[in-house]
Amino acid sequence: MDTEKVTKVYSVYSGFYDLLFGKIFHDSRVAAINLLGLRSGDRVLEVGVGTGLSLPLYPRNCTVIGIDLTGPMLVKGAKKIQRLGLGHIHLQQMDATHMAFGDSLFDAVLAAYVMSTVPDPRQVLAEMSRVCRPGGRIVLLNHFSNGNRLISRVEKTISPLCTWIGFRSDLCLKSLLDETCLDVEQNLKVNPFNYWHIVQCVNRKPAHGAAH
């Protein structure tokens, strides 16, 4: 998978993304946002916001920025913001591997159905940690490879096929989190089919100026 391919695939998806992925994934999006533990005044980043299916779920007493690489997806999201009067939410077109934000800017960061679609998930997670404040929450809603050897082998076998539809099936959570400052607080299986995980992490990076 590469950035150009991902952009092309999801530009095509933008026309029917809500119909295909809206209702069936709604409950898991609600659960993921609840695990952000948001409080009034929090600054939130959603990585890979897409067409903005999750945008109406955020509390209006928070400031939310959603980023995505794909312009046509963001156009759909902008229409939702205007139609629903979501003045607390702002969208930007941005590559998640090189975010144009300062360090520790956000209190919470969400990536829903994103980590398996990006060419370099470890770099995306590193950027998420960088822009999230120490002690802030990072929540990943994604499929991660199964610990069962047979299923893992199948997932690895079909992964090249999945990349043609903009998704990899063999992403390992342990490998993704290795050598990060993230502590997993909860790892929940969610529908559809308990195929997806919500992983709630706390960002344990040292505060600016603290001893390493």
- C-beta of residue 209 within 8 angstroms of C-beta of residue 146: no
189: phi then psi, degrees, rounded to nearest 5: -85, 140
- C-beta of residue 49 within 8 angstroms of C-beta of residue 93: no
What topology does CATH give the domain 3-203? Rossmann fold (3.40.50)
pLDDT at 7: 65
Please list, in sequence order, all residues whose beta carbon lies within 8 angstroms of the beta carbon of residue 139, skipping any fewer than 6 positions away: 32, 33, 35, 36, 108, 109, 110, 111, 198, 199, 200, 201
Q: How many CB atoms lie within 10 A of CB 34?
A: 13
Alpha-carbon gap, residue 152 to 20, rounded angstroms:
26
- Tens digit of each residue's pLDDT (9 = 90 or more) over 56-76: 999 999 999 999 998 998 999
- Tens digit of each residue's pLDDT (9 = 90 or more) over 113-123: 999 888 899 99
